[in-house]
Amino acid sequence: MKKQNNQNKILYNLYFSCLVFSLVTCFMLFIATTVNAQFELPTIGSIKPTIILNSDPVTPLPNSGVTVTANLSGLIGAGDSNYIWFLNGVRQTGASGLNKNTFTFRTGGIGATYRVNVSVTIPSEENLSDTVNFTVSDVDLTWTTNSQAPIFYRAKIMPTQNSLVTISALPFIYRPGTKNLMASNNLIYNWKIDGKMDSEKSGINRPSYAFRADNFSGNSYDMRLEIKTADGAVSLSKYTTIPVVKPRVLMHFSDPKTNLPYGTALKNLTTGAVNLNFIAETYFFTAPAKNLKWLWFINNAEVGGVNKKPWLATLNLANDFLGQLSAQIKVTAQNPGNELEIAQSITNLEIR
């Protein structure tokens, strides 16, 4: 009886061991199968070839060039593919052919629409196609400065060192392929000054940009504006250069009754011994004439006293230049708030 029990115990242990081994083996096979199923990479043959058109620029400006590139993916050896290009439905025979995956065209005026399509036959004889739409857009960049000039001055008023410059953008941007203008307050404005992005002054509905000019005269600022949409459908860039100049003073004859200038600016003058009235006019100072410090000189000797209009001067050549054949008149103007903002004008007189 005891011998029988031992045999049963041995058989039970053997059965249990086989059962455990079988379960472990099945579990390992299950894990291996699952891992292979999860991480098995697709073969090249299982990837479907695709084509995508990209353009440079994304949004074209008027009368500019656009380059469209066809990018193939999902196949080995994209060479020997045949490209047929269409512009607004018209086949572009000269641009089409074997391995010709780029197409370039020029735009017309603002608002013009273009549709570029390509049909590609790849080496497997499969045909792929894609289309991209454009509408010519633009943005006007204008800038102003707080520098001042005479009321009759009609040219551009330039900034000097320490001037405040404000740039404004007026966009005319269309939804690609349509005649629908996009709302300017929904656009993203990215401002760059001398190649550096100013993130604090960029963003949605930021069509203006202001800065203080700290460059010395003779230098300039390169301003670039990139306008985008959140979905990337629009991307347009425009730039302008803003020079920094010296303030100027020009000397003219003045009408004694109106104190207004007449004639061209004086440089060298031949005159008789008479009374002459002069007026000095300032250009591109950041302060008005009445706030400037004025000094008049004759042969480097300061003349004149307190004057309600210190930019005006009257010289009596019959008395002041008695016996002299020549003289030099100089006037200087300086901004008390900025010592570097100073200019002068010199006129050489020959008295006969």
Considering the entire predicted model, what is its pTM? 0.78
Cα distance between residue 161 and residue 215, in whole Å? 6
pLDDT at 122: 92
pLDDT at 273: 60
Cα distance between residue 191 and residue 199, in whole Å? 8
Number of CB atoms found within 10 A of residue 294's CB: 20
The 10s digit of each residue's pLDDT in 27-69 is 444 444 443 434 343 444 557 899 999 999 999 999 999 999 9
Dig out the tokens for 88 from the structure.
């607004």
Cα distance between residue 31 and residue 34, in whole Å? 5
| Positions of CATH 2.60.40.10 in the chain | 46-135, 138-243, 248-351
CATH superfamily, domain at 46-135: Immunoglobulins (2.60.40.10)
Cα distance between residue 163 and residue 233, in whole Å? 37
Cα distance between residue 165 and residue 208, in whole Å? 11
Cα distance between residue 80 and residue 73, in whole Å? 14
Per-residue DSSP letter, 44? G
Coarse DSSP helix, strand, coil percentages of the chain, rounded to the nearest 5 percent: 15, 45, 40
Could you identify the residue written with the tokens 């200038």?
261
75: Cβ–Cβ under 8 A, 6 or more apart, which residues?
Answer: 44, 47, 49, 122, 123, 124
Helices (H), the chain: 2-39, 317-320
* Pairing verdict, β 90-91 and 82-87: antiparallel
> What CATH code is assigned to 138-243?
2.60.40.10
Whether the CB-CB separation of 90 and 83 falls below 8 Å is answered with no
- Residues paired with residue 67 on neighbouring β-strands, in sequence order: 56, 104
Whether the CB-CB separation of 286 and 147 falls below 8 Å is answered with yes
- Tell me the Cα Rg of the chain: 40
CATH superfamily, domain at 248-351: Immunoglobulins (2.60.40.10)
Could you identify the residue written with the tokens 């060298």?
268
Helix, coil or strand: residue 277? strand
pLDDT at 26: 41
The 10s digit of each residue's pLDDT in 217-273 is 999 999 999 999 999 999 999 999 999 999 999 999 888 888 889 888 988 888 766
Stated length of the chain: 352
Could you identify the residue written with the tokens 């629009």?
234
113: Cβ–Cβ under 8 A, 6 or more apart, which residues?
Answer: 133, 134, 135, 136, 177, 178, 179
Whether the CB-CB separation of 64 and 49 falls below 8 Å is answered with no
Cα distance between residue 321 and residue 318, in whole Å? 6
Mark the ranges of the chain whose per-residue pLDDT is less than 70: 1-46, 77-78, 272-274, 304-307, 316-325
